Structure 1
Amino acid sequence: MRDIRLGRRRILIDGVPSLVMSGEVHYFRLAVRDWGDRLDRLVEAGCTAVATYMPWLVHELPDGSVDLTGKTGGHRDLTGFLDLAAGRGLAVIARPGPFVMAELKNEGIPYRVYERHPHVHPVTWDGAPAPTRTIDYLAPAFLEEVDAWYAAIMPVLAERLAPNGGPVAAVQLDNEVGMLSWVSNSPDLTDGVLADFAAWSGGAFGGLSPRGPSGPGSLAFHHALGDYNRDRYARYFAFLRERAEAYGVRGVPYLVNIHGTGGGRGRTYPIGISQLYRAYRGQPQLTSGSDHYLGDLTVGNVADLYVGNAFMAAVHDADQPLTSLEFEAGTGDYGEDLALMVPPSALELKTRLCVAQGNRLINYYLFAGGVNPPLDLPAGDGNDRVAFTGERHGFAAPVDPEGRTGPAFAAIRSVLSAVRGAAELLADMDEEHDDVALGFVPDHYLTEYAYPGDAERRAVVADLERFRGMGSRDVLARALLLAGFSFPAVDLQEDFGPGRVLVLGSATTLAAPVQRRLAAYVLDGGRLLLAGMLPGRDTDGAPCTILAEALGLSAGTPVEGTAEFFPSVRAEGRAEVRVGVLQHLSAPEAEVLVREAVSGAPVGVRVRAGSGQAIVLTCDYPCHLDFWTGLLALLGARPRHTHDAPVPGIVVTSTAGPGGQRLVHLLNVSPVDQSLVLSRDGRPLFGGRGIDLPARSGLMLPEGVGELAWSTCELAGPGLLRRRGTGDAAQVGERLLTWPDDPAARGRTVRLDQERPAPGHSTPSNGS
């Protein structure tokens, strides 16, 4: 029996903070004889848990009965698979839907549900049928069907919960709720939803046609529709949890999967957070998990992952930890066309960054491929199987459908070896942050719906998409991270206090309550860096200049670059640079920092207001790291960690635990090998020793751990150090050679008789 709880943003197993490293294995896509092998591969890779979807579509038979014991086919023997996992000491993360996606037809919902209740398939704009196989989540007929499915599967899980001595350690409720209607820009607008929306909004939009809103009031309507859906999804999750608990699933954490990455980027990921955070924020023993498909991790998208984690944490309560429920694994060749090949190093980089930011659970998806079984009744859709991917599925996974391991398997095994070496520390550590926080405005991501016939709505969405979150051209967050800052995010729609310099990528639309909070923050002594456009309107399109007036500023119409017009700006003491957009500022009392090159009009100013100050930059200035660190230095913020690496691409942060123990996390996401000396608050770390960091690699270096003052080797476990790239370890107290280019260091652990510097650095006087 195990007690599994969420507390202090940790996963507590029998009261002990723990990391859970998992891989997704779909039993229903494997022959029973292969289950043991795939679970053994999980253990070999270093995982401690297995996650799996449990598809309603697979387990329901044509007569409506449910087979969970394999009576009608081994691929349905869920109980057998759970028991096999338990026998190997693996925890189970159960994902029973009702939606599961996973390339299954109907997203895992039985055909019968649609055939018996055709009205649960929603209509959308202009009364057209929704183009995806989604469902009106709160349709009574659908909820009755879901209750019947839960009545079948939840008792099976309840019997095998960890508190009852079984393997089931957590249960995910549904999957990617709201994603299908978002990606198709097709909100559910059935008669029932419209009636519910009218009641929720107090009939405020009776003058508009909700199925085709445009014209006066449409901006307010679109905003309200997105906010209404947050409540709708929250009610749906509450129903699922209540029914799961009614059927005995109590005493383990519940999970909600957050969708939103695409095209190798995470710029739209906060849309998923915005849609669903009301469903889990503040809910006991329930937390969210990321679902990210970023492909490689590079200088271009590393900030996407970092900011995604930070925004998730910004809407968690004090007990809810970060998790990742679909952590992309494998080559990324999902179409079997060799159009994409993700290097194995991406797995290492993404894993290292996520554990540094406090992810307590990572589920590698998909860990093992398999075969899609046939449907019981032919669908006449070209393959008559449960999924639309053909016979083989998961061909890009670390373990392919035939059980062969690929390069990604070795990458998972390697990085999990490093994570296990520091797992006891990581499980009870929190990321240390600099004197900077990134502002998160969830309502800036209420852009999932825009009526195609409403030009004004489309223009507002485009403006928000351009400037929100990570800033225009993503420069704001990327510059922070690659300049050495480690930072949290702050939900600006909730009350926040003084403290760190607040950095916000701002569009021309910013809700009046948020403007009031920011104005009060600065007037009361806060420090603000606003980059993008000076806000001038509320979410309903009405003029709103509360923040501008508090700062003593006004702004002109944005000036756009074109194929024949190249707006350029010049910062004090710097070369002129071209920008894509700028906005002139009127700031009679301000210190001008950046001007338009030709007119000399201010586009970047520093103002003092009340007892605080703000820097407002109204152009998309390039990602010149020294420019951005200079702005923040004017506001009194500097990164604790600095280094002398010659090429941008080093990410550095640190985690700290009880008693002053610390891990310094270094990533090189650049494509070149780098050598650097790392400093904290201006003082060299690790005795000033140079650290070699090959291209696309990472390190977790200990400080103040037990008797160890510091080391440029990673931990191999309590009291052990390990050389990078080998399995060799030595007791703390042995002095280890750490330069991978030294022939004596390859493949073994050696003592140091005489230390030498890394290339390009001086010899330290002593080391550890």
Structure 2
Amino acid sequence: MVEVRRKRILVDGRARILLSGEVHYFRLDRADWADRIDALAAAGCDAVASYIPWLCHETPDGAIDLDGRSRPELDLGAFIDLCADRGLFFLARPGPFVMAELKNEGLPFRLYDEHPEIRPVTWDGRPAPSRTVDYLAPAFLSEVRRWYAAVMPVLASRLVTRGGNVIAVQLDNEIGMLSWVTKAPDLTDHVLADFGQWLAARYDAETLERRYPFPIDDPAARARGVRSPDDAYAPALMVDLGHYMRHRFARYVATLREYAEAEGVRGVPFIVNIHGTGGGRGTEFPVGISQLMESYAGVPGMVSGSDHYLGDLTTGNAADLYLINAFMDAVHDADQPLTSVEFEAGDGDYARDLAVVYDPSAIDLKTRLCVAQGNRLLNFYLFAGGVNPRLASSVGDGNDRISFTGEHHGVGAPVGADGRLGRSYEPTKAVAHTIRRMEAWLATMDEEHDDLAMAFVPDLYLTDTAYPASARTRTIVENLERHRFGGPGQRMARALVLAGYRFGAVTLPGSLDATTTPVLALGSPGYLDEVVQRSLVDYLSEGGRLLLCGEVPSHDLEGRPCALLRDALGLTPRGTRVGDNRFYLSVRAAGWAAPRPEERVSYAQLFAPTSGTTILTEYDSGAGCGFEIEVGDGRAVVVTTDYPSRDLAFYRAAVERLGVSPGLRHDAEHAHLLLTSTGNDKGERFVHVLNLDGYDATFRLYEHGQALFGGHPVSLRGRQGVMLPVNLHLDGAKLRYATAEILALDGDALTFPVPDSGLVVALETERTVVVDAPARVCREDGLQIVHAAGGQRTVTLRWT
């Protein structure tokens, strides 16, 4: 039995961290299945995932082959059963869309020919530039139901609830991604008719007439007015269409679930996969959350999964991944855990030109951070490469293969297309085995947070429905994109993460209480809806404390004047200045922020305050762009310029002025360390440290001002991570702390690597501790403490 409860995945009542690897059976000779599955199991995984592509399983006559009668490698049941024979769970991903670099994103060519009405048009009546379809078109849903009627029984008979190994089923893949990437929402006649009904239900007739200067129930006028909107109402359309698309996607997911359950798939989690990273950054990922949150958030039996490709984890993008996990969790209910169903595992050479090759630390650091933040399932993607076979019938597209990637697929995967182990295999294996060793503890732990949360405002990400020819909308979107993901250029979020703060997120609008969220950090654009501004004003008035970085909003998301927050802060606008290659815009510190060097910035929103303290001023005008202001019983620190994140002390001081210091600190002066911690109800903990740059670091750790680990130093190589144990219950002993990660655990024995600075392990036990290498064992305060000097590879200690 598999359950989702208290943000955990329970299998037969036991909390688990499931580590999966994506193996595409349809890209392998059937004789090679066992080899790839064995390589995955040897790497420490306990589950196999695979897309199940409709494109491949449908034969030219329209029949569906799931038993291998047309090609042996299409025997889906046999592949799942082989995984079961190896003791591995199976994560099924049957589409209908699967992407996977397949042509038509995995849909049969026949659908487009037989049902041309499912192919969307978009802005200005142009054909959609991708191979997406109208998800709710009756003809498409009828075909999907036929596909599900074939594939779901194969899964249903193998569910874990029936003694099988199918542990979860993903519904479709990256819903809404194609429209977002191409900036071309689906605007078929069917979609517009449905949109018109949605608008009529949302607004009264008088309001609708004010918002849109055309009759919404007239098909021709509606088509013209929505597909080619005037600048005057294009921002309102962006907001309405964005909210409608959320509703539409949720109906689509609910329909797919209904079809799956009708075929017997029940009692396992259904997964919705969230897109969207690009260029090694996660700045656009919340667009996917915003699009799909109504599909799963708070819906029993539904779980969301991330899909991210960030490459190397560095000081530049570590906060991206941290925010991705925090924002995903913010919309979940109290039971829904974090998962990642496309967790990048290859070496990054996707173009096969060696222009990009990831460091071996990429998979290690990202896995460690995601597990620390509460991910309970990671699917390493793509784990094994393969070969793209020819389509059963020629389509005359230059290669007639199932994929556009050529003959081989996944050449940079841990296991290559030819079955040889790639360079990313060993790093993947190493971190998977590390998580597996610690699983019994990690699976029961949650990330520990300081009294700080990041605000997540999903409506700031409705920009996938922005009409590109509208100047008004373009101005709004550019402003939102500059500030919404952790402040201008993400400087605030990056600084907070590297300053040692551990935080979750809260969704706005929503419940915002100063008792449960003492300090709120907001990456604020110049456009913020009235309901959100009002909730922030109420929060401050009732004693909340706010760190606002970006701009103080002056308009709502539709571009209408709205300055509730600005008025509550008592700020009078004095203009905005922008730097360029002739005007070297600079700001100077004042008040508690001084003395500090003058800093170059790219913009500054200037104000005259009616009260409070000015902490940053623009050099040329002397006007303020940073303030500390009392509002009711609360307080705000407002920074309206892109102040450099390198000045961690400035951002730390800003939050400390609001009453919260980072619970974890280190004393390495120049190292860029990401610190967080996890704990469970028994008081067992790990302190997680990631060294994000290439420089080795030796440092001491402190929690709330008190030295951790007996004040002994910890050493980390460049681009290395570590989980330092605290108060772990063992058989006959309690591991109070260690300055290195557990390398092996075997009953009454522990093995540790010995860092350059040496190893210190503190055990609480009535037995005698013995060590297999040169080391000193002493007794202090009821503990037996092992000291091993650096220069040794490992130390094993036993208590007998």
- Give your verdict on TM over 0.5: yes
CA apart distance, 1:720: 4.9
- Residues 652, 667 of structure 1: 8 Å contact kept: yes
CA apart distance, 1:452: 2.4
* Residue matched to 1:758: none
* Residue matched to 2:622: 600
The amino acid that maps onto 1:103 is: E
* Aligned equivalents of 1:333, 1:98: Cα separation in 2: 28
- Residue 446 of structure 2 corresponds to residue 424 of structure 1: no
Of the structure 1 ranges 197-206 and 10-19, higher mean CA displacement relative to structure 2 is found in: 197-206
TM-score by length of 2: 0.91
* Aligned equivalents of 2:53, 2:342: Cα separation in 1: 16
Equivalent position SS for 1:710: strand
* Residue matched to 1:633: 656
* Residue matched to 2:778: none
* Aligned equivalents of 1:739, 1:258: Cα separation in 2: 47
* Residue matched to 1:576: 598
Residue from 743, 746, 752 that aligns with 1:723: 752
* Aligned equivalents of 1:719, 1:234: Cα separation in 2: 51
CA apart distance, 1:554: 2.7
- Residues 738, 762 of structure 2: 8 Å contact kept: no
When residues 596 and 100 of structure 1 are mapped into structure 2, their CA distance, relative to the original with a 3 A threshold, is same
* Residue matched to 1:710: 737
* Aligned equivalents of 1:353, 1:739: Cα separation in 2: 29
* Residue matched to 1:170: 168
* Residue matched to 1:362: 378
* Aligned equivalents of 1:22, 1:60: Cα separation in 2: 27
* Residue matched to 1:207: 213
CA apart distance, 1:214: 2.5
* Aligned equivalents of 1:215, 1:44: Cα separation in 2: 59
* Aligned equivalents of 1:401, 1:579: Cα separation in 2: 48
Matches for 1:201-600 after TM superposition, within 5 Å: 201-202=199-200, 204=208, 206-207=212-213, 209-498=225-514, 499-571=517-589, 572-600=594-622
CA apart distance, 1:468: 0.8
Equivalent position SS for 2:629: strand
* Residue matched to 1:764: none
* Aligned equivalents of 2:475, 2:750: Cα separation in 1: 56
- Residue 800 of structure 2 corresponds to residue 742 of structure 1: no
CA apart distance, 1:412: 1.1
Residue from 670, 675, 698 that aligns with 1:675: 698
Equivalent position SS for 1:86: helix
Equivalent position SS for 1:94: strand
Could you say what the CA RMSD is over the residues aligned between the two structures, in angstroms?
A: 1.9
* Aligned equivalents of 2:406, 2:122: Cα separation in 1: 30
When residues 719 and 347 of structure 1 are mapped into structure 2, their CA distance, relative to the original with a 3 A threshold, is farther
* Aligned equivalents of 1:181, 1:69: Cα separation in 2: 34
- Residues 749, 797 of structure 2: 8 Å contact kept: no
TM-score by length of 1: 0.95
When residues 720 and 346 of structure 1 are mapped into structure 2, their CA distance, relative to the original with a 3 A threshold, is farther
When residues 751 and 197 of structure 1 are mapped into structure 2, their CA distance, relative to the original with a 3 A threshold, is closer
When residues 620 and 206 of structure 1 are mapped into structure 2, their CA distance, relative to the original with a 3 A threshold, is closer
When residues 734 and 627 of structure 1 are mapped into structure 2, their CA distance, relative to the original with a 3 A threshold, is farther
* Aligned equivalents of 2:25, 2:770: Cα separation in 1: 46
Instruction: Report Cα offsets for 1:550-585 as digits up to 9, x if no partner.
Output: 222232332111121111111121111111000111
- Residue 644 of structure 2 corresponds to residue 622 of structure 1: yes
* Aligned equivalents of 1:249, 1:724: Cα separation in 2: 46
The amino acid that maps onto 1:708 is: L
When residues 720 and 48 of structure 1 are mapped into structure 2, their CA distance, relative to the original with a 3 A threshold, is farther
* Aligned equivalents of 2:113, 2:754: Cα separation in 1: 56
The amino acid that maps onto 1:363 is: N
CA apart distance, 1:264: 0.4
What is the percentage of aligned positions where both structures have the same residue? 52
CA apart distance, 1:598: 2.5
CA apart distance, 1:740: 11
Instruction: Report Cα offsets for 1:124-170 as digits up to 9, x if no partner.
Output: 01111000000000000000000000000001100000010111000
CA apart distance, 1:436: 1.1
* Aligned equivalents of 1:485, 1:284: Cα separation in 2: 32
Matches for 1:18-37 after TM superposition, within 5 Å: 18-37=16-35
Could you tell me which runs of 5 or more consecutive residues in structure 2 were left unpaired when the two chains were aligned: 215-224, 764-768, 776-785
Matches for 1:36-55 after TM superposition, within 5 Å: 36-55=34-53
- Residue 137 of structure 2 corresponds to residue 114 of structure 1: no
* Aligned equivalents of 1:367, 1:497: Cα separation in 2: 44
The amino acid that maps onto 2:702 is: S
CA apart distance, 1:731: 12
- Residue 720 of structure 2 corresponds to residue 697 of structure 1: yes
Of the structure 1 ranges 11-20 and 493-502, higher mean CA displacement relative to structure 2 is found in: 493-502
* Aligned equivalents of 1:214, 1:568: Cα separation in 2: 39
CA apart distance, 1:723: 2.4
Instruction: Report Cα offsets for 1:566-621 as digits up to 9, x if no partner.
Output: 11111121111111000111212121111112222111111111111111111110
- Residues 735, 762 of structure 2: 8 Å contact kept: no
Instruction: Report Cα offsets for 1:478-500 as digits up to 9, x if no partner.
Output: 00000001100110121221133
The amino acid that maps onto 1:274 is: S
* Aligned equivalents of 2:29, 2:109: Cα separation in 1: 24
When residues 349 and 279 of structure 1 are mapped into structure 2, their CA distance, relative to the original with a 3 A threshold, is same
Could you tell me which runs of 5 or more consecutive residues in structure 1 were left unpaired when the two chains were aligned: 753-768
* Residue matched to 1:766: none
* Aligned equivalents of 1:100, 1:645: Cα separation in 2: 46
- Residue 192 of structure 2 corresponds to residue 194 of structure 1: yes
CA apart distance, 1:648: 3.9
The amino acid that maps onto 1:516 is: R
Instruction: Report Cα offsets for 1:267-308 as digits up to 9, x if no partner.
Output: 111111111011101111211000000011111110000110
The amino acid that maps onto 2:584 is: F
* Aligned equivalents of 2:195, 2:672: Cα separation in 1: 47
Of the structure 1 ranges 233-242 and 711-720, higher mean CA displacement relative to structure 2 is found in: 711-720
The amino acid that maps onto 1:513 is: V
